[in-house]
């Protein structure tokens, strides 16, 4: 198809039965499920009800800012485009979006965030990926570009699931931890990187890694001072990728695998020029004693191998040439709280005003089309 605007980061809110209907009977009581809250809102229930996560800020499309509620969005205000592909296409049409790259909702933090059982985690990962690729995205595969998530249960499981979803036609994968399943790199990770290195599609890190049960997810109740932790969580976006990106570069991953592509998702781009300077300065100062041995400056690997998405970032756009104009992709974050849906065109007009047409096309379409090989791109 002839693409117009491509949204490089949007989300689903998984159907409430996405896991209970797809895992073995022995696991049905242990996997996440949607439950009703007393106030007419909905929540995800984890670990036999020991953890409740309201469906709120991730279901805010179309709401006025005064309606945002981290304790839950009323069922009457939830947009079915979050989980129904037909409704999703209608919402994309309303926002004048040709295609969307699709990330998870509650599954985004990885199965380790809602279970500490390996079998449950891997079953949940497979179930989500099956629903995403075989049901949701299959409705319009040229417009709904679903990215499956890989397990956080060790390299063996990661490799098995990557091979499976690659055969299913995935155009990229998401990792919520290092391939070994932890928050620190390990030599065993190389088994995954060497497998995926020549794949034509990228690996995605969505604002960072998540380290096990309940980590990386904001608490569902306000602090004693009345401030809800979600606002702090939102202000951390971007920072979560600092460590994994530094680890990947310092490890020489891009030297060993020059075709490898990594996307830093929903991080914004304004931090990148500062980060590039920091990477290079620390490398020059500390390479003698740090054990980091690179043939090029760290910033060079970043600019070549790492893409980034943003929702709104005037400073990042002003400094875009300190990064790489061919690695920047715009996104809506639909249906999460950061989205401007259905008014994205107004945002595009004002925030990209003054940017040359050829660069606008790259940011809004061409770079994503090339990265995901849409319409012959890449």
Beta strands in 147-292 (DSSP E): 173-174, 203-206, 262-265
Q: What are the structural domain ranges in the chain?
A: 6-28+80-376
Q: How far apart are CA 28 and CA 9, in angstroms?
A: 30
Residues whose CB falls within 8 Å of the CB of residue 318, separated by 6 or more in sequence, listed in order: none
Q: How far apart are CA 197 and CA 195, in angstroms?
A: 6
Q: Is 154 helix (H, G, I), strand (E, B) or coil?
A: coil
> Tens digit of pLDDT per residue, the chain (378 long)?
899 999 999 999 999 999 999 999 999 999 999 999 988 899 999 877 777 888 988 999 999 999 988 888 998 999 999 999 999 999 999 999 999 999 999 999 888 777 889 999 999 999 999 999 999 999 999 999 999 999 999 999 999 999 999 999 999 999 999 999 998 999 999 999 999 999 999 999 998 887 654 444 555 567 777 776 777 767 766 788 999 999 999 999 999 999 999 999 999 999 999 999 999 999 999 999 999 999 999 999 999 999 999 999 999 999 999 999 999 999 999 999 999 999 999 999 999 999 999 999 999 999 999 999 998 555
Q: What pTM was computed for the model?
A: 0.95
CATH class of 6-28+80-376: alpha beta
Tokens 């100062």 locate to 285
53's tokens: 């996560």
Q: Could you check whether the bond before residue 47 is cis, i.e. omega within 30 degrees of 0? A: no
């Amino acid at each position: 198809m002839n693409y117009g605007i491509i949204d490089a980061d949007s989300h689903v809110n998984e159907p409430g039965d996405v896991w209970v209907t797809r895992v073995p009977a022995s696991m049905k009581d242990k996997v996440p499920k949607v439950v009703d809250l007393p106030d007419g809102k909905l929540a995800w229930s984890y670990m036999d009800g020991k953890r409740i996560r309201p469906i709120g800020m991730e279901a805010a499309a179309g709401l006025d800012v005064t309606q945002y509620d981290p304790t839950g969005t009323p069922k009457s205000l939830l947009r079915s485009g979050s989980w129904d592909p037909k409704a999703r296409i209608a919402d994309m049409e309303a926002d004048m979006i040709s295609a969307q790259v699709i990330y998870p909702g509650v599954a985004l933090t990885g199965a380790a965030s809602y279970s500490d059982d390996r079998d449950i985690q891997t079953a949940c990962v497979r179930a989500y990926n099956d629903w995403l690729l075989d049901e949701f995205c299959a409705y319009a595969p040229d417009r709904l570009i679903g990215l499956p998530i890989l397990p956080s249960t060790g390299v063996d499981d990661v490799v098995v699931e990557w091979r499976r979803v690659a055969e299913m036609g995935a155009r990229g994968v998401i990792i919520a931890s290092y391939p070994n399943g932890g928050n620190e790199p390990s030599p065993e990770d190389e088994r995954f990187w060497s497998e995926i290195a020549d794949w034509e599609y990228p690996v995605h890190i969505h604002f960072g890694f998540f380290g096990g049960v309940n980590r990386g997810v904001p608490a569902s109740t306000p602090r004693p001072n009345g401030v809800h932790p979600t606002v702090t969580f939102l202000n951390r976006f971007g920072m979560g990728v600092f460590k994994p990106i530094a680890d990947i570069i310092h490890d020489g991953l891009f030297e060993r695998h020059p075709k490898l592509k990594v996307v830093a998702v929903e991080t914004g781009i304004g931090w990148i020029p500062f980060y590039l300077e920091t990477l290079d300065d620390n490398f020059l100062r500390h390479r003698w004693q740090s054990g980091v041995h690179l043939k090029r400056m760290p910033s060079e690997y970043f600019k070549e191998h790492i893409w980034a998405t943003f929702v709104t970032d005037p400073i990042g756009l002003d400094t875009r040439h300190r990064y790489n104009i061919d690695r920047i992709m715009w996104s809506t974050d639909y249906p999460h709280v950061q989205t401007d849906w259905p008014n994205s065109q107004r945002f595009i007009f004002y925030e990209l005003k003054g940017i040359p047409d050829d660069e606008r096309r790259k940011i809004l379409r061409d770079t994503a089309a090339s990265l995901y090989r849409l319409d012959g791109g890449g």
